[in-house]
Amino acid sequence: MIDIKLIRENRDLVKENIKKKFQDEKLPLVDEVYEMDIKVREIQTKADNLKADKNKKSGEIGMLMKDKKIDEANKIKEEISKMADEITKLEEEKVELDKNIKERMMVIPNIIDPSVPIGKDDSENVEVERFGDPVVPSYEIPYHADIIERVGGMDKDAAGRTSGQGFYYLLGDIARLHEAMIAFGRDYMIDHGFTYAIPPFLIHADVVTGVMSFPEMEAMMYKIENEDLYLIGTSEHSMIGKFKDQIIKKEELPITMTSYSPCFRKEGGSHGLEERGLYRVHQFEKQEMIVICEPEESMDWYNKMWKYTVEIFRSMDIPVRQLECCSGDLADLKVKSCDIEAWSPRQQKYFEVGSCSNLSDAQARRLGIREKGEKGTYFLHTLNNTVVASPRGLIALIENNYNEDGSISVPKVLQPYMGGKKLITPVEK
């Protein structure tokens, strides 16, 4: 959510930003907010003046009663009563206008960073840099589900019986490899000064709407029936929510945390080969990182954060690239975002394994996350980034470490988490 001062002082900037995001249907909202805001301030001024007059007249009543001027005192009481009624009406009108303004402000997109490429959708995202050489081996790389099944690592049929499509059992060495990858990401972030956390996996609606836009919420989140609780789609939701309505001391900044959680998403649209694999699933696990910092430091943190993910994947012998998200692919709260994509030797293309985002003060403004410092009280900036998520990261790990004989090499950095195991071999049937 942007600062309403932007609409008061520079409507053209806000409208131009909406156009850059190809959301022209939202343009009328800017003028609507502008006009309603003027009315709110007029009402507030009128109400304040009435309250001052009411207080002044209330002070006169005592003097009149003291001087036995009962009729005059009663007349003023009637005036005060009318003033009170008018003040009540004005306050009710203001409450309704404030509600209407907030509804519109919640869907007006954040101002994107000038460096963001302009484009309509993810097809116009821009590759920035590659890390590691994408290799296509001389032998065939099977579909990841087939590789995993050959080493006895997955049972989707059983998951279908217990939970339905979009769920899975990971078994044996593959389940262990999955956990090794998450644990390595956790320890990497701890070694880089981040505080480890395991957050709540369910959060209230006001936290959900504080960290994401309503359309995202509807598309992603599972709601618990008859309760004000949602299953998290990523631990960023509850980690940023941790600081709701808090005033943070300057000496506590920056706040850098890494969190583990299962994640739950509706993930509609799976089809074909994906239905029996692990690309689109309703439940997965992820190591996340979040930063809360001074506004002037957020872009530096953004660049540090996505590079951490690159280093983690390169440590597991996985080539990756950074893909800059264009304006039309940015969620409304984000000012800048990039995806980290891993190389798939089977598909001979890259696919998303993580996303890094700078949301400036949008989440902080919605949730009331502030600092009280020399410049007064102001909203802080929030950022989030995927450390590593499974099963997407697991797919990349398996494909890039698959051997011609059907075995999977365990990257050196993960071997301590696998009891020293260096190779996962096919199961004899």
Percentage of residues of the chain with pLDDT beyond 90: 81
pLDDT tens, residue by residue, 286-337: 999 999 999 999 999 999 999 999 999 999 999 999 999 999 999 999 999 9
Question: 396 with 313: CB under 8 angstroms?
Answer: yes
Confidence of residue 270 (pLDDT cuts 50, 70, 90): very low
Give the span between the Cα atoms of 238 and 387, in whole angstroms: 16
Q: CB neighbours (10 Å) of residue 260? A: 18
* Mean pLDDT for all residues in the chain: 93
* 402 close to 189: Cβ distance less than 8 angstroms: no
Give the confidence band of 42 by pLDDT, cuts at 50, 70, 90.
very high
Whether 17 has a pLDDT exceeding 90, the answer reads yes
Residue 68 has a pLDDT of 66
Provide the CA 58 distance to its chain's centre, in angstroms. Answer: 51
Cβ atoms of residues 269 and 280 within 8 Å: yes
Average pLDDT over residues 217-236: 90
* Mean pLDDT, range 354-365, rounded to an integer: 97
- β-sheet bridge partners, residue 386: 288
Helix (H) or strand (E) holding 159: helix 156-162
- What is the structure's pLDDT at 272? 47
pLDDT of 60 over the 90 cut: no
**Banded model confidence at residue 67, pLDDT cuts 50, 70, 90:** low
Q: How far apart are CA 347 and CA 351, in angstroms?
A: 9
Coil, strand or helix: which one is 196? Answer: strand
Mean pLDDT to the nearest integer, 23-45: 97
Compute how many other C-beta atoms are within 10 angstroms of the C-beta atom of residue 377.
9
For residue 65, pLDDT beyond 90 = no
| Whole-number Å distance between alpha carbons of 334 and 1 | 10
Residue-range domains of the chain with CATH: 4-105 (1.10.287.40), 122-424 (3.30.930.10)
CA 28 – CA 45 distance, rounded (Å): 26
pLDDT band at residue 276 under the 50/70/90 scheme = low
Residue with tokens 């993910």: 309
- Residue 179, φ and ψ in degrees, nearest 5: -70, -35
pLDDT, position 268 = 56
Instruction: Decide if 353 contacts 341 (C-beta within 8 A).
Output: yes
Distances (CA, A) of 108 to 216, 390, 391: 14, 33, 34
- pLDDT of residue 71 exceeding 50: yes
Distance in angstroms (rounded) separating the CA atoms of residues 390 and 73: 76
Distance, CA of 289 to CA of 239 (rounded, Å): 9
- The edge-to-edge listing of strands for the beta sheet with 230-231 is 202-203, 230-231, 222-223
* 313 vs 396: CA distance, rounded Å: 9
Residue 227 to residue 224: CA distance in whole angstroms? 6
CB 375 within 8 A of CB 388: no
User: What is the per-residue pLDDT for 218?
Assistant: 75
The count of residues in the chain is 429
In the DSSP assignment, the letter for residue 228 is: S
Are 343 and 397 in contact, with CB atoms under 8 Å apart? no
380-411 pLDDT tens trace:
999 999 999 988 999 999 999 999 999 999 99
Does this model's pTM top 0.85? My answer is yes
Residue 373 has pLDDT above 90, yes or no: no
Render pLDDT for 105-164 as a digit per residue (tens, 0 to 9).
Answer: 999 999 999 999 999 999 999 999 999 999 999 999 999 999 999 999 999 889 889 998
